[in-house]
Structure formats: structure tokens, C-alpha cells
Amino acid sequence: MLRFVVALFAVITSSSGKKYGCLEGDTHKPKPSREPNMHECTLYSKSSCCYADFTGQLARSPVIKVNNSYWNRCGQLSKPCEDFTKKIECFYRCSPHAARWIRPNSTAAIQFVPLCQSFCDDWYEACKDDSICVRNWLTDWEWGQSGENRCKNKCIPYSKMYANGTDMCQNMWGESFKVSQSSCLCLQMSKKDAVAIKYLRSESSEESSSGSSSEERACQKKLSKFEKLQREKGENAR
């Protein structure tokens, strides 16, 4: 019996594989753990793939650069646009769930993380009057001697670079993100993600889900409950 239990445990841990690990980027921890003193990205304090120290770079506004990557090459981002950019940076650097969408050949990278349409639309709205000189933030820079990013092309408004929120979400970070068909089985870099994560099965499983699957229904139900609870908490706080 014990042997069976041990074998079963081995199967479970190996099949869940990367799920509870971290990406393998230059700032990532080997595995997620609590970071009580985070300056930013506090959504991930309980289980974080970045060190609290790292988030110091994001804690100031305006953010000038994160590691070698300058955020102000086309001028300072507006506060709302900066806030969205931070959410994406925090997810990539700190989320203990990001590795669920690890890129097979490139373990520092993610692919096709499902984002909510509303999140992408709001992000676009926040940034549309800011300027940018790359369509793909990961590849379209010229790299300086010490690895810093420089514009190759002219700065133009986000609204000229990207047609809409979908276009922006699915191109700004290469193939890292896609816009989900579902309004529940998708991430929006908020506390609601806990619900989505619970019902999102591994990698591309929600590829074909069009809102009729049992995960979708279960997710919607749980999300309504969650929202109700949040509202009640809000009312009590007042």
C-alpha cells in the first residue's frame, strides 16, 4: 500500500511538472515562495517568483527602467498606461502561475497566456495616447553596448501602432499573450485571477472553449460569488 502511495505521489508531482515552478529568466527564483516585503506586484506576495528587491524598480513613478529595459524611450508613460505595463511586468516576473504557459523551447518565455478581452481593451484605452517605437517589445529594439534598448524607429502613438486592444495584446509581447474567447477563463492581473486559474486547465486546453464548456459555467458561477463577496467586503469597509 505504501509503495502504491509513493508511486502515485511520484506520478502526481511529475505530471504537474512546471505548474508550481517559475520561469527561468534572469530575475526568477528557482521556485515560488512568500515575499512579505514587496514594493509592487503585491498580488503575488503569497507566492512569488520574483524577489521583493526586484520590485523596488517598479515602485517608483515614473518607472525609468526595469533591469536594462528603458520604459521611457518615447517619453514618460502616462500613469494609467504605466500601471498596465506594470501589471504585465509583474505577471511575467512574479506570478507563480506564469510557468504554466512556459514556452517549450525557451524557458524564460511564456506563450499564449489567455488574457480577458476587457483587460486588453482597458489597457489599450489607457495607453492609446502614449507613444511607442516598437510593435514587438521583445524583438524590435536596437540593443546598445550594455544591453540597453534603443528605438530603431520613430515614436508613434500606441493608437497608430496597434489597431485595438486585441492587436496590442497579441503582438506587443510577441506570442506571449492571446485574447481569450471566454470572459472568465482568462487573466486580468487582479485578484479575480485566482478564480480563472482554478478552472483553467493546462496550457491550450481552453483553445476551443466557446463559453459552453463545464469549466466556463463553473468559472462564471464562482466569479459571481467572488464578486459578491468583494462587494460585501467593500461595503463593510466603508
Ligand X SMILES: *[C@@H]1O[C@H](CO)[C@@H](O)[C@H](O)[C@H]1NC(C)=O
Q: Where are the alpha helices (DSSP H) in 36-189?
A: 56-59, 79-94, 117-127, 158-161, 165-171
The reply on whether position 26 binds ligand X by CB under 6 A is yes
The reply on whether position 55 binds ligand X by CB under 6 A is no
Q: Do 33 and 80 touch, CB atoms closer than 8 A?
A: no
3 state DSSP class of 156: strand
The reply on whether position 167 binds ligand X by CB under 6 A is yes
- Cα-Cα-Cα-Cα dihedral sign, residues 98, 102, 106, 112: negative
Amino acid at 137: W
Q: Give the integer Cα–Cα distance in Å for 123 and 168.
A: 9
Which is closer to ligand X, CB of 164 or CB of 181? 164
C-alpha cell belonging to residue 16: 504537474
CB of 164 to ligand X, least distance (A): 4
The reply on whether position 95 binds ligand X by CB under 6 A is no
The reply on whether position 204 binds ligand X by CB under 6 A is no
Candidates 68, 136, 153, 205: give the one binding ligand X (CB under 6 A): 68
The reply on whether position 175 binds ligand X by CB under 6 A is no
Which is closer to ligand X, CB of 126 or CB of 195? 126
Stretch near ligand X under the rule CB under 6 A, chosen from 13-21, 93-101, 161-169, 197-205: 161-169
Q: Which of 40, 38, 20 is nearest to 30 (CA)?
A: 20
The reply on whether position 124 binds ligand X by CB under 6 A is no
Q: By CB under 6 A, name the binding residues for ligand X.
A: 26-27, 54, 67-68, 105, 163-164, 166-167
